[in-house]
Structure 1
């Protein structure tokens, strides 16, 4: 079971990384695809000049991960209030909160404190990883390079990678906008912990959101397609490692509800045996 967990959750993304590296980074597929979107006569990516497209796909689209992160922060803050209230010692305050319907919200936040903090930390870790890679590879976006009317040279991320210091001013690899969509994968690990029925829908929905975010930027000339794949791989690994730190492998393998049901089943069997 342990080996299967690691093979599935680490093996698949690492295999995807190898495929992306060989299929995209070692070939000219990225450039060939972007060439189809580039107008050599005007030396522009036409979709980059459509302000409504930019507003909907780049600015408005940020609402989903931004609001999710903000809700998680608020939930994490509220989760520490209910224990401080302590209705048993402060019955009047507890009764007031109950009448004002605030108590259920505070109790819910307190019950899911670990989950709220996990989402906050997972979002922060994913953002940090992507920013680190951007700064330490210094890859310029297609539209900024001489291939598409810009002034900067086109380089692959591995040609310019620096581990201990920033490699330059380029900030295009991996895809930052795509990573914003992929960070919603943090919700999948929460859903997986509780064995929610729609956990797979959250998984595929988060992946789809990341790919949509990334593809729109490819259409505008601000990323290559491989940048989106790399963003998804790194965000998955970041969320997975954070989930392991918060919940542990055993808890992710045996979600809380299943564990509770097994406990009840064992207790019932023991009672019947007596």
Structure 2
């Protein structure tokens, strides 16, 4: 319980930092501005094949393929008693990646914030407003926070949470992989003008928070189900 409370504190601090970054610093606009061409009033990389096809569509399908590959591996271990701890970790990962993706997509569906390429500051027409501010008269189409594409990588943080009590080396590999995958996916959308940095960081936070919460709930349920 003490470890869980400490981790909850770190999660709360991380969320506060993301909010401070989004509300009180110019970092979001400064980074996005690096990819914006004020002369043509567009993001040059938005529709380039490498970014739009390889790094956007390609990474999305790669994550989906990895999920199904993990599912097949999980099924293949069902009759191997010695590998059951690993199988449970894999089952946890399979379920929690879906829950994290659902959480991100659900929050995005009700978000009033629009993407950078829709904003007047970056060639669009919508008015920008910060987190927790009242929506302006023209907020644009919204549905842009958090970043859905970054979730294709950050959902795999569930693997780190699942493996840290089974195989610490494998857990570190899972952590590195999911962070690299999420950063690449997030950078892709920054370069294309689809998201601000805070959108990507919020996605990472949601994914790790969902995995952490599921791990706490599963741990309590497992403790209660044991005899004695």
Provide the TM-score with structure 1 as the length reference. 0.70
Aligned-residue Cα RMSD (Å) equals: 2.7
Gaps of 5+ in 2: 224-228
* 2:6 counterpart of 1:4: no
Q: Hey, what's the Cα distance between the residues in 1 that align with 2:19 and 2:129?
A: 14
Instruction: Name the residue aligned to 1:255.
Output: none
Q: Hey, what's the Cα distance between the residues in 1 that align with 2:87 and 2:134?
A: 41
Instruction: Name the residue aligned to 2:88.
Output: 114
Instruction: Name the residue aligned to 1:126.
Output: 100
* 2:212 counterpart of 1:217: no
Larger RCO, structure (CA 8 Å, separation 6 or more)? 2
Per-residue deviation, residues 156-209 of structure 1 (Å, max 9, x unmatched): 342369xxxxx9952211111111101111111222121342322321321222
Contact 2:126 2:140 in 1 (8 A): no
Q: Hey, what's the Cα distance between the residues in 1 that align with 2:30 and 2:153?
A: 25
- The counterpart of 2:23, out of the listed 25, 28, 45, is 25
Partner of 2:164: helix, strand, or coil?
A: helix
Structure 1 63/11 Cα, relative in aligned 2: closer, same or farther at 3 Å? same
- The counterpart of 1:186, out of the listed 130, 141, 158, is 158
Tell me which protein shows more helix as a share of its residues. 1
Instruction: Name the residue aligned to 1:87.
Output: none
Q: Hey, what's the Cα distance between the residues in 2 that align with 1:174 and 1:185?
A: 16
- Identify which range, 109-118 or 40-49, moves more after superposition: 109-118
- The counterpart of 1:68, out of the listed 66, 69, 72, is 66
Partner of 1:194: helix, strand, or coil?
A: coil
Partner of 1:204: helix, strand, or coil?
A: helix
Structure 1 33/191 Cα, relative in aligned 2: closer, same or farther at 3 Å? same
Contact 1:133 1:173 in 2 (8 A): yes
Per-residue deviation, residues 104-136 of structure 1 (Å, max 9, x unmatched): 754149935533432232022111211222122
Partner of 1:150: helix, strand, or coil?
A: coil
Structure 1 146/179 Cα, relative in aligned 2: closer, same or farther at 3 Å? same
Q: Hey, what's the Cα distance between the residues in 2 that align with 1:234 and 1:247?
A: 20
Query: Post-superposition shift, 1:218?
Result: 0.3
Instruction: Name the residue aligned to 2:175.
Output: 203
Q: Hey, what's the Cα distance between the residues in 2 that align with 1:127 and 1:235?
A: 8
Instruction: Name the residue aligned to 2:212.
Output: 240
Per-residue deviation, residues 60-92 of structure 1 (Å, max 9, x unmatched): 11233212322344456x4xxxxxxxxxxxxxx
Query: Post-superposition shift, 1:58?
Result: 0.7
Query: Post-superposition shift, 1:153?
Result: 2.1
Q: Hey, what's the Cα distance between the residues in 2 that align with 1:246 and 1:67?
A: 26
- The counterpart of 2:40, out of the listed 42, 51, 56, is 42
